[in-house]
Structure 1
Amino acid sequence: MGDVAMTVPVIRALVEQNSEVKITVVSRPFFKPFFDGIPNVSFFAVDVKGRHKGFLGLLKLYSDLKQLNIDAVADLHNVLRSQIIRTLFALSGKKIAFTDKGRAAKKALTRAENKIFKPVKTMVERHVETFKKLGFTIDLSNPKFPQKTVLSKEIVAITSEKANQKWIGIAPFAQYESKVYPQDLMQQVVEELASDTNTKIFLFGGGNKEIEILNLFANGKENVINVAGKLNLKQELELISNLDTMLSMDSGNAHIAAMLGIKVITLWGATHPFAGFAPFNQPFENCLVSDREKFPMLPTSVYGNKKVSGYEEAMRSIAPKTVVEKIQSSIK
């Protein structure tokens, strides 16, 4: 989800700065709301469980896409399936370009020995380079973001009207445990923020286990609302566009908020913003990282999927007070 969200600011800037360009985004149907409302951008939903399943399905996908009479292919994902599709287009004479994910530099950043601790290019910068290979210039120095969405009655029934409160989103989960702030510390963050009655906190997540934890966070607090399981993706995007700030792990919700122009504060455990996945257009000081003096091998992973003995508690080096103060500063 984060990978797709990081393409949105680039595509939005591309069509705004190159009015003659029409983009067709090819992805899973779930992600269509990310691109709604962007001029000259249409969406082609890939049926990975039906028509486009397997190798024969990829051939059908290529056949379907050929009907669009496209001039060039930008492969922003650069995985086996997209590589096959772009190769078929290249063989038919179409111009192609693909995003270099910088795996060597990321490996040097995360290895235990001879670590090269310096920032690598962000994925957004890499996507810009991909379109440059196709002849398009994109300037992201002054990005434009969509207007805040007028909330529907269905959403307001859950959130109430905003009035004069500051709205804070909290997305406390990630795909891997090494990127998740400890539950007891997050509980402290929620309780401290909720003590200010001029704020309203919305908790984001999904799945029964996460909903259960979020219910514990919200229990007994009138200004803390668990929206997990109550909104579809489109409605979540609409709510996020009305937040004053979002607290997220190194996960998809950080990139979703960033693509909508919302202030984002991120917490980092085994991973690090130097790996190129810091939220778009956010100041580096909004990335709260674990203590590298106590845990010198950090970052130990690009995606958080590698476990290192003794580093399970790295995120405890980020004090709840530090998180709360950063959020309070961002909403003033």
Structure 2
Amino acid sequence: MSSTQKIIVLRFSAMGDVAMVASILQEFSEQNPTVELIMVSRPAFKPFFDHIPSLIFHPIQPKAAHKGIDGLYKLYQELRSYKPNAIADLHDNLRSRAISTFFRLTGTKIRRIDKGRAEKKALTRTNNKIFKPLRKTVERYADVFRELGFSVELSHKIEKSPQEIPANAQNLFANKATKKVGISPFAQHVYKVYALEKMEEVIALLNELGYELFIFGGGKTEQAVAENWTKTYKNAHNVIGSFNLTEELAIISNLDLMLSMDSSGMHMASLAGVPVVSVWGPTHPYAGFLGYGQLENDCIQVEHPSRPNSIYGNKPCLCGVENCIDLIKPETIVNKIKEKLNG
């Protein structure tokens, strides 16, 4: 490929999906150092891409400057100034298709992600379920670049690279002898959240073991929950609301392990090179959304013929009276964490 190659990459949401894009663009950039990437996503997600060489971040403002078809045409005009050779649509939604269409009319090469919708429907349906691992989402992202003619081989490995700890968090890392465990107990969809009373049991057990615990994710409601936990358990620290995303990523990069739902916390830890113990309910790693470089053996889940019944976790569990995620015992999670930290 010529040194003048420029690719516009489209992926606007959700947070975890955008973090996964950052993971593969890091490897793409290392393998294709002469290619310039223009990443188009929401402004809040820019820190995911700050470490990637030869990448320009271009924000989309879907509720302001880029609202509606007129706003998308304005975004197209902004992006056209980069004179891209190709568009990598890693989102495949109405907005990304509109942008792609504008570029197609000028003869720009477009390639779009194959989300495997039919396979995912077969994986999650109740009758005649086809229970098998599907192509990983990160490979589906990489396929788009391969179809554009670029070479990219994903290692599917995480590389720990601790960043400088933010000044107002350094006191939390003062004791070098203790293991540092992140906990990301919340998720966008309630059906992916392990019952908070059971999560508190996990925190209590980890606190007794002497681990330093860092609680991530969520808004005001979740922040209040985390603050109550930190008042009860001396080794628990609330990160919510005290740090920006760049600082959170730096803190995560200094952890020994992250405990997360099937949520953005898992993908942020993957991006920071930290191993994850993940807890799964109506979703399943087979759908392809396991954190980049994470191990399926570190996924905690209940085997049931109705699982999975949802790709994104926006549907309730169909496993019976009790949700499948609630069948997981706190001790099971703690034992897996001990195994990972002591192994």
**TM-score bin (small chain):** over 0.9
Task: Say if 1:42 and 1:145 are closer, same or farther in 2 by CA, change over 3 A.
Answer: farther
Q: Is 2:280 the partner of 1:300?
A: no
Of residues 256-265 and 159-168 in structure 1, the stretch that sits farther from structure 2 once superposed is 159-168
Q: Is 2:23 the partner of 1:14?
A: no
**TM alignment of 1:270-281, pairs within 5 A:** 270-281=282-293
Residue 258 (structure 1) shift:
0.8
Q: Which amino acid in structure 1 is aligned with residue 81 of structure 2?
A: Q
Task: Say if 1:144 and 1:262 are closer, same or farther in 2 by CA, change over 3 A.
Answer: closer
- 2:230–2:236: 8 Å Cα contact kept in structure 1? yes
Q: Is 2:186 the partner of 1:177?
A: no
How far does the alpha carbon of each residue in 1:250-304 deviate from its partner, in whole angstroms, 9 at most, with x for none? 1011011012211011100111111111111111111111231xxx211111111
Residue 313 (structure 1) shift:
2.3
Q: Distance in 2 between matches of 1:63 and 1:312?
A: 52
**TM alignment of 1:318-329, pairs within 5 A:** 318-329=328-339
- 1:7–1:124: 8 Å Cα contact kept in structure 2? yes
What residue ranges of structure 1 are gaps of 5+ in the alignment? none
Q: Distance in 2 between matches of 1:144 and 1:283?
A: 10
Other-structure match for 1:195: 208
**TM alignment of 1:28-43, pairs within 5 A:** 28-43=42-57
SS of structure 2 residue aligned to 1:117: coil
Residue 138 (structure 1) shift:
1.0
Q: Is 2:137 the partner of 1:128?
A: no
Q: Distance in 2 between matches of 1:88 and 1:118?
A: 38
Task: Say if 1:142 and 1:48 are closer, same or farther in 2 by CA, change over 3 A.
Answer: closer
- 1:178–1:312: 8 Å Cα contact kept in structure 2? no
Q: Distance in 2 between matches of 1:312 and 1:67?
A: 55
**TM alignment of 1:6-85, pairs within 5 A:** 6-85=20-99
Q: Distance in 1 between matches of 2:99 and 2:274?
A: 34
| TM-score when normalising by structure 1 | 0.95
Of residues 232-241 and 213-222 in structure 1, the stretch that sits farther from structure 2 once superposed is 213-222
Q: Distance in 2 between matches of 1:61 and 1:207?
A: 29
Q: Is 2:262 the partner of 1:250?
A: yes
- 1:155–1:235: 8 Å Cα contact kept in structure 2? no
Q: Is 2:297 the partner of 1:285?
A: yes
Q: Distance in 1 between matches of 2:163 and 2:251?
A: 8
SS of structure 1 residue aligned to 2:232: coil
Q: Distance in 2 between matches of 1:50 and 1:66?
A: 20
| Number of residue pairs the alignment of both structures matches | 327
Residue 220 (structure 1) shift:
2.8
- 1:26–1:43: 8 Å Cα contact kept in structure 2? yes
Q: Which amino acid in structure 2 is aligned with residue 280 of structure 1?
A: Y
Task: Say if 1:313 and 1:146 are closer, same or farther in 2 by CA, change over 3 A.
Answer: closer
- 1:257–1:264: 8 Å Cα contact kept in structure 2? yes
RMSD across aligned positions (CA): 1.5
SS of structure 2 residue aligned to 1:106: helix
- 1:13–1:143: 8 Å Cα contact kept in structure 2? no
| TM-score when normalising by structure 2 | 0.92
Identity of aligned residues (%): 43
How far does the alpha carbon of each residue in 1:38-84 deviate from its partner, in whole angstroms, 9 at most, with x for none? 11111001122222111100000000000011111101111110011
- 1:291–1:317: 8 Å Cα contact kept in structure 2? no
Q: Distance in 2 between matches of 1:262 and 1:208?
A: 26
- 1:291–1:318: 8 Å Cα contact kept in structure 2? no
Q: Distance in 2 between matches of 1:27 and 1:316?
A: 35
Of residues 306-315 and 254-263 in structure 1, the stretch that sits farther from structure 2 once superposed is 306-315
